[in-house]
Chains A and B, each alone.
Chain A
Amino acid sequence: MSTLDFSTTLGNAWFPSPIFTASGCASSGRELAQFIDLRDIGAVVTKSIMNKARLGRPTPRMAETASGMLNSIGLQGPGIDKFIEHDIAFLVEQKARIIVSIAGESVEEYAILARKLRAVAGISAIEVNISCPNVENRGMVFACDGDAARRVVDGVRRAIGGELPIIVKLSPDVTDLVAIAKSVIESGADALALINTVLGMVINTETMRPHLGAKTGGLSGPAIKPIAVRAVFQVHAAFPKIPILGMGGVSTGRDAFEMILAGASGVSIGTASFGNPTALISIHNELKELLTIKGFASLREAVGYAHRTQEAT
């Protein structure tokens, strides 16, 4: 039997497994609960919730691509109040650990959301999604601008800082990811989530127009995994003490192991769950086995192991 310590921490939140859902890829966990026990994973990271109900972008919202897919959901959701009443309540009842992902159109909206969540019991951490590419106004992608990103995190920290870890989700679609990471860390991020989807487009060769109703969408799946590994590696190299929730195309335990070696303390599973509703569990088991085979006594020892100097083998 393995005596591996498989637990991880993000800020001051402790999780028994480093495998999480990815926001927007598990809805609120209710459907996955038909296939897996939600208590078996690190936490359910909910879809990003906004203050008011939102219908999202027009259909088609999906296009499969080689080893990946584009989506353009556009943050459809019931609004924070109904979300707390129904979705969070369900997860609490299931005894799942919960990371609530929030998204806003303004700096103020993020702060309002954080304040509303402050009073809710049973939440382990807040993910501040400032990098959803599926918004009508690219100006809303706060993660593309260091100052805007800083203001959002400042507002959330004032509302909830010190009570719940703040995980800030960044986009790889920037010139200098490390500079953006620096901004949000300086303004109080306890951890980072890397990466959000990569902006892309598919043209339908029958209609000879962009396939998605919203024209552009976020690319996810194995196609973007090397981008995610690179992003995690770069940011971990610059800020080795900041925990990273790594994601982007992870579909096997070996993929998750790559993320851990690059510097992730936890790994989120998104598109893989669309293709396989039990992917979270198989990845959890495969990663555990790989760490044991490689001789690690704990997950923590493996985090960032790819950064070691040549001598330290």
Chain B
Amino acid sequence: MAGLTMAQINKNAAQIKATLVGNKKVGQYHQLIINIGDIANFCKPGNFVAISVGGDTSRMVLRRAFAISRVSTSSTFGGTMELIIAPLGAGSTWLCAQSEGTILDIVVPLGNAFGIPTEPVATLLVGGGYGSAPLFGLAELLHARGCRVDMLLGASTAGKIYAPMEGKRSVNSLRIFTEDGSMGQTGRVTQPIAELIENLSIAVIYSCGPMAMLAAIDEITRGTDVVHQCGVEESMACGIGICMTCVLPVSDGAGVVSMLRSCIDGPVMDGSHVQWNASGGIA
């Protein structure tokens, strides 16, 4: 039920001190590896993490939320998680500047996870810009479950495409689109979706990226049997469900619209339930 008071915080969420064990620049992004111990066992594709930034005397009082791109339960450090972060704002810039060995104050895992089909169906993963990061961990999981996995990545320009070499192992095909034509095909990532749904009999689309991209995918899938699970993004103060800032208008399917927290009822939502036209405003 999509009621205001019913959704609950991820039952595995914990506040921990965690060591940054890797920080590598990959194009315009940083790949951070953080040792989270046994909590890695509870992290699922779609979950996110909230990290304190700036140190004890920082004027940045709020945590920064990042999607977990992948976890490893058997690295040389034990359980680790990987984050792909673009140093755009003051908080992410601080984080990307931290060296290995830095102790971070993190809350993890947060939010819900992508639903995994019980049958080995055909899936399409669509990522926009840095939003593509969690799709690679998801692709591995879907591939292991016997699903067909096709992936589309898009961005305004080549430098904003995140597509690690090893990520390609789990996908049947990967196509890249840039608006300026600097990598892959010229155009938008949403262009081939309708055709792919038909040709590959896609049952589920998983998407991560800018809200406009998610809304465009919803338009394509509306009226079809394709399930659209999208990872939404709204600016968030707490990440743990207490501030009520990261809300989206979401229908419960029976026409009742509630403002749901993307940190608790999301970040993964059913694209057909999100009221894309009312996003931001309220009727």
Residues of chain A touching chain B, judged by Cβ–Cβ distance below 8 Å, are 24-28, 30-32, 34-35, 47, 53, 55-64, 66-69, 71, 73, 76-78, 82-83, 86-87, 213, 221-222, 251, 271-278
A62 adjacent to B61 (CB under 8 Å): no
0 or 1 for each of B207-242: is its CB under 8 Å from A? (1 = yes): 000000000000000000000000000111110111
B61 adjacent to A34 (CB under 8 Å): no
For the complex formed, measure the closest distance between the CB of A69 and the CB atoms of chain B, giving whole angstroms.
6
> Who on chain A is nearest to B107 by CB?
A277
B197 at the interface (CB under 8 A from A): no
For the complex formed, measure the closest distance between the CB of B118 and the CB atoms of chain A, giving whole angstroms.
29
A56 adjacent to B259 (CB under 8 Å): yes
By DSSP majority rule, is chain A's interface helix, strand, loop, or mixed?
Answer: loop
> Who on chain B is nearest to A25 by CB?
B242
Instruction: Compute how far the CA of A64 lies from the CA of B236 in the bound complex, rounded to whole angstroms.
Output: 10
For the complex formed, measure the closest distance between the CB of A12 and the CB atoms of chain B, giving whole angstroms.
29
Q: Which of A34, A58, A221 counts the most chain B CB atoms within 10 A? A: A34
Instruction: Compute how far the CA of A278 lies from the CA of B13 in the bound complex, rounded to whole angstroms.
Output: 13
Q: Pick the interface stretch among B3-11, B94-102, B150-158.
A: B3-11
Residues of A within 8 A of B4 (CB): 53, 76-78, 82
A55 adjacent to B259 (CB under 8 Å): yes
B116 at the interface (CB under 8 A from A): no
By DSSP majority rule, is chain B's interface helix, strand, loop, or mixed?
Answer: loop
* Known contacts A31-B264, A55-B259, A271-B61, A61 near B245 by CB under 8 Å: yes
> Who on chain B is nearest to A79 by CB?
B4
For the complex formed, measure the closest distance between the CB of A271 and the CB atoms of chain B, giving whole angstroms.
6
State which of A56, A86, A274 has its C-beta within 8 Å of the C-beta of B5. Answer: A86
Q: Pick the interface stretch among B169-177, B183-191, B274-282.
A: B274-282
Residues of A within 8 A of B93 (CB): none
A62 adjacent to B245 (CB under 8 Å): yes
Residues of A within 8 A of B237 (CB): 62, 64, 69, 71, 271, 274
B70 at the interface (CB under 8 A from A): no
Contacts across chains A and B counted by CB atoms under 8 Å: 128
State which of A55, A63, A221, A273 has its C-beta within 8 Å of the C-beta of B238. Answer: A273
Instruction: Compute how far the CA of A273 lies from the CA of B6 in the bound complex, rounded to whole angstroms.
Output: 21
State which of B59, B105, B241, B244 has its C-beta within 8 Å of the C-beta of A56. Answer: B244
For the complex formed, measure the closest distance between the CB of B273 and the CB atoms of chain A, giving whole angstroms.
16
Q: List 27 A-B contacts (CB under 8 A).
A: A27-B242, A30-B8, A30-B9, A31-B8, A34-B240, A35-B13, A35-B14, A47-B244, A53-B4, A55-B249, A59-B280, A60-B245, A64-B61, A71-B243, A76-B259, A78-B3, A78-B5, A82-B5, A221-B61, A272-B61, A274-B238, A275-B61, A275-B62, A276-B15, A277-B15, A277-B238, A277-B240
* Nearest 6 CB-CB pairings of A with B: A62-B245, A274-B238, A31-B241, A61-B245, A86-B5, A67-B59
Residues of A within 8 A of B235 (CB): 59-63
A62 adjacent to B236 (CB under 8 Å): yes
* Known contacts A30-B9, A56-B259, A275 near B244 by CB under 8 Å: no
A276 adjacent to B243 (CB under 8 Å): no
A68 adjacent to B61 (CB under 8 Å): yes
B279 adjacent to A59 (CB under 8 Å): yes
B281 adjacent to A64 (CB under 8 Å): no
> Who on chain A is nearest to B262 by CB?
A59
B62 adjacent to A213 (CB under 8 Å): no
B61 adjacent to A213 (CB under 8 Å): no
Instruction: Compute how far the CA of A83 lies from the CA of B5 in the bound complex, rounded to whole angstroms.
Output: 8
A26 adjacent to B279 (CB under 8 Å): no
0 or 1 for each of B105-118: is its CB under 8 Å from A? (1 = yes): 10100000000000
> Who on chain B is nearest to A59 by CB?
B280
B63 at the interface (CB under 8 A from A): yes
Instruction: Compute how far the CA of A87 lies from the CA of B264 in the bound complex, rounded to whole angstroms.
Output: 16
Instruction: Compute how far the CA of A62 lies from the CA of B234 in the bound complex, rounded to whole angstroms.
Output: 10
For the complex formed, measure the closest distance between the CB of B238 and the CB atoms of chain A, giving whole angstroms.
4
A27 adjacent to B280 (CB under 8 Å): no
0 or 1 for each of B186-200: is its CB under 8 Å from A? (1 = yes): 000000000000000
B142 at the interface (CB under 8 A from A): no
> Who on chain B is nearest to A273 by CB?
B242
Instruction: Compute how far the CA of A47 lies from the CA of B246 in the bound complex, rounded to whole angstroms.
Output: 16
> Who on chain B is nearest to A33 by CB?
B9
